[in-house]
Chain A
Amino acid sequence: MSILSSIKSFFTGQPPQQLSSLLSNSALAETAAPPPAAATKAAATQPSPLPIGVSIMSDSVKVTWNPNAPEEGVTGYNVYQDGALAGNSTTTDFTVQNVTPGIHKYEVAAVNLWGEGPKSDPVSTPAIPSKPAGVQIAININVSVNS
């Protein structure tokens, strides 16, 4: 193993032969601090994707509401998403998981021992954008050794 390869391996924590996979012209590399004047750019090779996924979007929606009056004997609340039952809660909030992109309408109905009450006025979420697919981060490390 050469000195250069050893230094590269030290910085990346990967075997030297995998360093080339870290080299990329990604946006992250463009915003990184410029290399020292003494450094020279290493020979770039075609980058291969790194197995790093970054989730920057939420796919859950939290629904909250005010409690019904105590004398109503509420045993729980049913939460509806776009008219379909999404789940139920014994408290005054519920988080809907795996929400698909788009605008969704939510309603809540109280339940007591004898049945379900009327649904609340619907509330819609802002549009949930689609998740970016295949987000990757590549790290550029340029190392030179003056011998």
Chain B
Amino acid sequence: MAATWLFVDKPVASLQADIETAGNISIDLAPDLGKQLQSAPQQDGKVRIIVFGLNQTTFSGRFASVDASVAGITGVVTADPNGGDAGASVSKLSTPTGLRVSP
């Protein structure tokens, strides 16, 4: 099944982003266990997500999974442990498609 994983490129304490997808977004428990995800549908069809680090100061790398393709990521805001701008970006990686093998 097609899926997309979301990554943040540097340690952050929290982040917010608008995800353009028709799928369901879930927090990725590994390797950062201390995170919590809140999501809210927006009027433009996107889903706004907010991820908090709870039991640790920061998290980085893969933080969430989407069970469908993601058309875009906008409105990324990230914060460092002191509440300042972390200046991080959010990226995605989708499932490769069209796999074929030939002996």
Residues on A lying within 8 angstroms of B by beta carbon are: 58, 60-66, 68-69, 72-74, 77, 99, 106-126, 128
Residue total for B at the interface (Cβ-Cβ under 8 A): 23
Q: Is B1 an interface position by the 8 A CB rule?
A: yes
Query: Please, how many angstroms separate the alpha-carbon atoms of A8 and B4 in the complex?
Result: 71
Contacting pair B62 A72 (CB below 8 A): no
* Interface SS, B side: strand
Q: Which residues of B contact A69 (CB under 8 A)?
A: 94
Query: Please, how many angstroms separate the alpha-carbon atoms of A21 and B8 in the complex?
Result: 71
A7 to chain B, nearest CB (A): 45
Query: Please, how many angstroms separate the alpha-carbon atoms of A121 and B97 in the complex?
Result: 8
- One of A60, A63, A111 near B100 (C-beta < 8 A): A63
- One of A60, A109, A110, A118 near B65 (C-beta < 8 A): A118
A104 to chain B, nearest CB (A): 8
- One of A106, A114, A124 near B7 (C-beta < 8 A): A114
Beta-carbon nearest neighbor of A118 in chain B: B3
Known: A65-B98, A112-B7. A117 touches B103 (CB 8 A): no
Query: Please, how many angstroms separate the alpha-carbon atoms of A52 and B103 in the complex?
Result: 24
Contacting pair B96 A65 (CB below 8 A): yes
